[in-house]
Amino acid sequence: MYIYDQYDQTIVDERVTQFREQTQRYLAGELADAEFLPLRLQNGLYIQRFAPMLRVAIPYGMVSSKQLRKLAEIARKYDKGYVHFSTRQNVQYNWPQLEQVPDILAELATVQMHAIQTSGNCIRNTTTDQFAGVAADEIVDPRPYCEIIRQWSTFHPEFAFLPRKFKIAVNAAKQDRAATLVHDIGLYLVKNEAGEIGFKVIVGGGLGRTPLIGTVIREFLPEQHLLSYLDAVLRVYNRYGRRDNKYKARIKILVKALGTELFTQKVEAEWEHIKDGATTLTQQEINRVTSHFSVPTYETLPATSQQLAQQLADDPNFNHWYQQNVNAHKVPGYSIVTFSLKPTGVAPGDVTDKQLEAAADLTDQYSFGEARVSHQQNLVLADVKQDDLYPLWQAAIQHGFATPNIGLLTDIICCPGGDFCALANAKSIPIAEAIQSRFDDLDYLHDIGELDLNISGCMNACGHHHVGHIGILGVDKKGEEFYQVQVGGNAGSDASLGKILGPSFAKEAVPGVIAKLLAVYVNQRTPEERFIDTYRRIGIKPFKEQVYAKAH
C-alpha cells in the first residue's frame, strides 16, 4: 500500500486545519451557505435528507486493517455504528454532526485517510480494478498510476472549480472490472509492440441523464506523459465545457458537441505546448510509487492445495462459496476472496463497526493486513493462501460476509436512494431487499449465473443502472414512486447501455418483472450463454412481450 511521507502527511494535516477554520467561519455566519457549499463538497460533506453525509476517500479501493479499525471507531463515536460502501470506492457516514466533521477528518488523517475531493466539481477519487496487482489477466499493476493521479489531482489549483464533477478510472486487466468506459476519463494500461507501457485514453463516458460510452482519443500515450496529457484534457474541458446548465456540463457533452475529432485536436494542440515540461513523469518517480505496491512475501506453494481439494469435496456449502466468492490469483497457492456485503435484509454495502473490526482482524490474519473495496460495494481480501480458505470462510460466516452471491442476481449494486439521499426520486434499498427475498434460492441463483442487477433511486445513476444487465431506475410520478426497468447494459470492456423495457412499474411489481425476465432467459438460452449474451442475441422484444403480456 502507498505509505505517506512527510509531504503527503503535511498536505492532509493542513487540509484538516483549513476545513476546521472554514467550518468555524460558516458556523459564525461569515460564510454564506452558497459559499460554504463547494468548500464542504470538496471535503465530501453533503447536507442530506436527515443529516449531513460525509464521504471518505478510499483511493483506488485500497484499505489497511488499521484504517478499517479507524473507520469502525469513527462510526461508533460520531455516527450510528455503521458505514456505507458506495459504488465509487468510497465510504459514507450517514449521520455525522457538521460541527464534528473537522474532528473526524483529524482522526482520519492519523491513519493517512481523508475526504478530499470525494464530491464537488473537481477531480474525484480515482478508481480501479479491485483485483489490481493480483489478477492473472493483468498487464501491469494499475495502482501506482492511480496513486500518481491521486497526488496530481489533489488540490490541483487549475481544476478545483470545473464545470462539473470529474471521474477517472484506470484498468490494466483484460477483463474490465472498473467500469472504465463510463468515466469522464478512462485509462486502459497497455503495452505497445516494443513492450513499453502506456495508456489508451478514453474520454466522455458517463451515466446519469445522458448516459454515454467513452470514445478513444489516443490509442497509445507513453506512461511518462500521463499527467501532462491529463492536464491537457482537463484544460480543454475547463475552458470550453458548458457552465450554463449543470445537466449539460459534463465532458461527455463537450466531446459530443465538438465531435471526437475536433475535441481530440484541441487536446493534442494543448498537449503539444506542455508535453515535455516538468510534469513529465520520471522513471524514478514511477519506481518510487511502484515500490509501495511491492509484492507481499508470498510463500512458495503448489498451484493447488490438496487440503483445499478435500475440503471442497467434503463440504458442499464451502464449495458453493468457493465457486462464487473466490477468484484465481496470479501466485500459485493463493486466492482472491470477496466478502459479500449483500446478505438479504441489509442495505447493499452497509457494514457495522463490529463487522469492520472483524474484517480488519481477518485481513491481518489471512491477507497481509490489506483489503480492497470494489465498486460493486463488496470487500476483497486479495492474498489468501488456499489452505486458509476454509477457516476464513467459517469466520466470514460468523460475521455475515459469506453470502455466496458474488456476481449473481442478489449481489445488487444499489445507491442509498430515497431513504438517505436528498436527490432521490424513489427508494432503492427496499427494492433490492424485495428482489433478494424473492430470489433466495441459491440453486436457482447459481443456475441463472452471472447477472448484474443495478438499482438507482434517480437519474444521477449512482447505482449504475444503465450498465446493469438488468437496471432499475426509481422515478417519481405525481409524488408516487415507480420503477423503470432496463435490460442489456454492461460495464465491462464491451460496455453497453441498457434499453428501457417500457412503462414503469409499481414497487410491488418489480420482483415479478425480474422473474419474467429470467424466465425468458431460461427458456431461450444456449448452455454457454449468460443473461447478457442471450439478450444480445435475441434482443429486447421477447423480454418486453413476456413482461407486458396481459394475464390470461
Residues at the interface with other proteins (CB under 8 A): 5, 7, 10-11, 14-15, 18, 22, 35, 38-39, 121, 148, 151-152, 154-163, 227, 235, 238-239, 243, 273, 277-279, 281-282, 284-285, 288
Smallest distance from other proteins to CB 241, Å: 9
Cβ proximity to other proteins: between 47 and 331 the closer is 47
DSSP 8-state assignment for residue 337: E
Single-letter amino acid, residue 171? N
Cβ proximity to other proteins: between 245 and 526 the closer is 245
Single-letter amino acid, residue 245? N
- What gap in Å lies between CA 27 and CA 30, rounded to an integer? 8
Smallest distance from other proteins to CB 238, Å: 5
Q: Which residue has the cell 477528518?
A: 105
Cβ proximity to other proteins: between 157 and 479 the closer is 157
- What gap in Å lies between CA 76 and CA 355, rounded to an integer? 12
Smallest distance from other proteins to CB 274, Å: 8
Q: Which three cell numbers stand for residue 37?
A: 457549499
Nearest to 223 by CA among 204, 188, 255, 198: 198
Nearest to 489 by CA among 450, 520, 454: 454
Smallest distance from other proteins to CB 231, Å: 9
- What gap in Å lies between CA 133 and CA 130, rounded to an integer? 9
Smallest distance from other proteins to CB 269, Å: 11
- What gap in Å lies between CA 169 and CA 139, rounded to an integer? 16
Phi and psi, residue 428, nearest 5°:
-125, -35
Cβ proximity to other proteins: between 277 and 502 the closer is 277
DSSP 8-state assignment for residue 508: G
Cβ proximity to other proteins: between 154 and 377 the closer is 154
Nearest to 45 by CA among 4, 87, 103: 103
Question: Quick check: 210 and 202 in contact, CB under 8 A?
Answer: no
Cβ proximity to other proteins: between 8 and 364 the closer is 8
Question: Quick check: 93 and 131 in contact, CB under 8 A?
Answer: no
70: left (phi over 0), alpha (psi -120 to 50) or beta: alpha
Residues 6+ apart with CB under 8 A from 205: 180, 181, 182, 183, 184, 186, 212, 213, 214, 252, 495
Cβ proximity to other proteins: between 20 and 330 the closer is 20
Q: Is 87 helix (H, G, I), strand (E, B) or coil?
A: coil
Smallest distance from other proteins to CB 270, Å: 10
Beta bridge partners of 490: 496
Smallest distance from other proteins to CB 71, Å: 25
Cβ proximity to other proteins: between 145 and 368 the closer is 145
Write out the H or E segment, with its range, that includes residue 220. strand 215-222
Cβ proximity to other proteins: between 80 and 156 the closer is 156
Angstrom distances, CA of residue 460 to CA of 354, 413, 425, 466: 32, 14, 10, 11
What is the C-alpha radius of gyration for the chain, rounded to an integer number of angstroms? 23
Q: Which three cell numbers stand for residue 48?
A: 442530506
Residues 6+ apart with CB under 8 A from 44: 54, 55, 56, 57, 90, 115, 116, 117, 118, 119
Cβ proximity to other proteins: between 235 and 530 the closer is 235
Determine how β-strand 168-171 pairs with β-strand 127-128. parallel
Smallest distance from other proteins to CB 156, Å: 6
Smallest distance from other proteins to CB 60, Å: 16
Smallest distance from other proteins to CB 185, Å: 17
Cβ proximity to other proteins: between 287 and 294 the closer is 287
Smallest distance from other proteins to CB 186, Å: 22
Q: Which three cell numbers stand for residue 293?
A: 505496491
Cβ proximity to other proteins: between 68 and 162 the closer is 162
Cβ proximity to other proteins: between 46 and 543 the closer is 46
Q: Which three cell numbers stand for residue 548?
A: 407486458
Cβ proximity to other proteins: between 243 and 320 the closer is 243
Smallest distance from other proteins to CB 39, Å: 6
Q: Which three cell numbers stand for residue 312?
A: 471442497
Smallest distance from other proteins to CB 372, Å: 24
Smallest distance from other proteins to CB 157, Å: 4
Give first-to-last CA distance, the chain, whole Å: 60
